[in-house]
Structure 1
Amino acid sequence: MSDPEPPSFHIRFFPGLKEKLEGVRGSRSLNREINERLQRSFEADVLAKLAETIRPILGQMSEAERSDLTEAITSVVRDLAKTPRKRQPRK
C-alpha cells in the first residue's frame, strides 16, 4: 500500500514574488522552498524571544557594555549564517 498523496493547493503569486522565491531557493524545489517558509512562519519568533530575554540585562549595562554585547551577538549570528543548515526530516 502506498502513502497517500499529500494535499495540493493552487496559488496565485503577487507580481514578482515567484521570481524572488526562485532566486533564493538554491538547489531546493520551489515547492520545498515555499513549504519550508510556511512551516517556519508557524514557529516561535526566535528574535523576539532573544530580545525578551536580553532586555532586562541591557537595562543594567553601560552604553559601552551594550555596544560590546551587540558586536558579540552580531558576530555570532554572522558565523551561524555561514554554517550550512541540515534539512529537517519530513514528518
Structure 2
Amino acid sequence: MSIWIGRILSAAVVVLLLADAATNLFAPDFIRAEMEATGFPVNLAPALGVIIAICAILYAVPKNSLPWCDTGDRFSRRCYLHALPPG
C-alpha cells in the first residue's frame, strides 16, 4: 500500500513540474506579473522551463535504469556521460 502512495505522490510531483515547465516554455506572458514581482526577467522564462523539464525527467527516471549511472548510495546519482555509446 505504501509503495502505491509513494508512486502517486511522485507522479503528482512530476505532473506539476511538467505543467510548470510547459507554462514557462509556451505561455511566458501568463506568468509575466509573477516573474516581474520576484525580480526575474521575463526573457528567462524559456530557460527556466527547460531547466524545470530536465529536473522533472531526472526525477521521474529511476536511477538504476540508466546503464551509465552509478547508483552509489540512495542519496546520490553519478552519471558518466563520457561512457555513453557513440551516436
TM-score where L is the length of structure 2: 0.31
- Structure with the bigger RCO (C-alpha within 8 Å, sep 6+) is 2
Structure with greater helix share of residues: 2
Larger Rg: 1
Higher fraction of strand: 2
